[in-house]
Amino acid sequence: MQKSWSFKLTPFRYLLIGLVGIAIVVALARLVFGLGAVTNLSDEWPWGLWIGFDLLCGIALAGGGFSTALIVHVLHKEKYLPIARAALLTSLIGYVIALVSLLMDIGRWTNCWRPFFYWGFHSVLFEVFWCISLYTTVQVLEFGDIFFERVKIGPLKNILSKAMVPLTILGIVLPTLHQSSLGSLYIVTVDRLNPLWWSMIIPFFFVWSAFFLGPAMVTIEGTLAARAYNRKPETEVFSSLTKVTMCMLIVYFIVKMIDLNYRGVYSMAFNGSFESNMFLVEMIVFVLVPIFMYAIPAIRNTQWGVFTASVLVVVGVVFNRMNVVFTGMAQSAGGHYFPSIWEWLITLGMWSALALAYLFVVENFPILVKEDHEQEGLSSGKSVSTGRSVEA
């Protein structure tokens, strides 16, 4: 497989490259002229599209990395190996996006290195900051293991292989902590965030949803990759993952209901306000519907069924984050916020860069499972790798 680096350019990829180019220009303008000149942010809406969508959702969507790592490398459920590397890759790229949007968003970006030296450990943001930095490093190292399969530097590869187990564990503990602390960020908004979303256990909701989002994200990504590269999707792996997602969704729903009841705000969900409607949509369309789709074998075992349900789950988590950042804060913040064209362009550019990076890596590194082994292994449902039988 040792060929020269390849990256075939198609019109679609030219478009992506163009979008990245525009975003870079806008980003430079933002760094030079400041946030006020480029964004629609204000004292009432200090956090907008970049924090709300790119950072919070980028990181949530990267949940595939740590949930798959847990299932495959810690619980050793090896039938899920075919998707492990792709999950790691998307997760890594998701984090890079989060870091870039963070850099874009901080007003005094020339001070971005300061938090490493002045420790405000009583701040939730401190935890978020350290976990993101460390975990990105861990993921780069984990990816190094794959990188050196292609770029052969013997000693480095050996060192990395030895470090893999502790790295993997660190690579689960860190995201667990900070997925939850992304939620804890909003504990501070006592009396500001709508009680339908504000809760002392919002950290639990965040980490739990990031976890169940993982398998769904892997499903979507795998299906799209299979389609793009004209391969056979690992439908069987996907539909067996749905058990994990479904159970977690059910737990999520139950805890949510108990929490609302406990805080005595249950009735707020039905008072007909904009917030209550958004909440009902979130719960019904993006939690209950996927639970039923996953529960019914006739849907779960088909490619479109598992794909659609997974899309609902992923969109649902994004929807939930948007509700926390925007819907739930609207009433107390007052004023209004809609991202400016420049904010959209940077966001668009970042996600285009993500797509390009993914394509490049997948086409140059061993990420996806070899076709011939996979065909046989998956259709028999017993083994996925050559010569070794693996129990489920």
How crowded is residue 77: how many other Cβ atoms within 10 Å of its Cβ?
18
Q: Which range of residues in 91-99, 114-122, 290-298, 308-316 is near other proteins by CB under 8 A?
A: 114-122
Give whichever of 162 and 243 is closer to other proteins, judged by the CB atom: 162
Q: Could you say which residues in the range 227-266 bind other proteins, by CB under 8 A?
A: 227-231, 265
Q: Does residue 369 interact with other proteins by CB under 8 A?
A: yes
Q: Pick from 133, 137, 189, 277: which binds other proteins (CB under 8 A)?
A: 189
Stretch in the footprint of other proteins (CB under 8 A) among 17-25, 89-97, 241-249, 378-386 = 378-386
- The residues near 33 (Cβ < 8 Å, ≥ 6 apart) are none
Residue type at position 51: I
255-277 burial, b for 16+ CB within 10 Å, e for fewer? ebeebbeeeeeeebbeeeeebbe
Q: Does 87 bind other proteins (CB under 8 A)?
A: no
* Minimum CB distance to other proteins smaller for 180 or for 320: 180
| 276 vs 269: CA distance, rounded Å | 5
Question: Residues 6 or more apart from 1 whose CB is under 8 A from it?
Answer: 150, 366
Return the residue of 158, 261, 302, 332 that touches other proteins, per CB under 8 A.
332
Does residue number 81 form part of the binding site for other proteins (CB under 8 A)? Answer: yes
Q: What is the DSSP letter of 268?
A: G
CB closer to other proteins, 185 vs 309: 185
Stretch that binds other proteins, among 44-52, 214-222, 251-259, 276-284 (CB under 8 A): 44-52
Q: Among candidates 130, 144, 214, 223, which has minimal Cα distance to 177?
A: 130
Residue 356 within binding range of other proteins, rule CB under 8 A: no
In this structure, the dihedral spanned by the alpha carbons of residues 24, 25, 27 and 31, taken in order and rounded to 10 degrees, is 130
Confirm or reject binding of residue 344 to other proteins (CB under 8 A).
no
The residue type at 262: Y
Contacting range for other proteins; rule: CB under 8 A; set: 19-27, 173-181, 291-299, 338-346? 173-181
By C-beta, is 220 or 291 nearer to other proteins? Answer: 220
Query: Contact between 154 and other proteins (CB under 8 A)?
Result: no
User: Which amino acid makes up residue 232?
Assistant: K
C-alpha distance across the termini of the chain, in Å = 30
Coil, strand, or helix at residue 237?
helix
**357 near other proteins, rule: CB under 8 A:** no
> Segment near other proteins (CB under 8 A), from 103-111, 134-142, 212-220, 341-349?
103-111
Instruction: Please report how close the Cβ of residue 31 comes to other proteins at its closest, in angstroms.
Output: 8
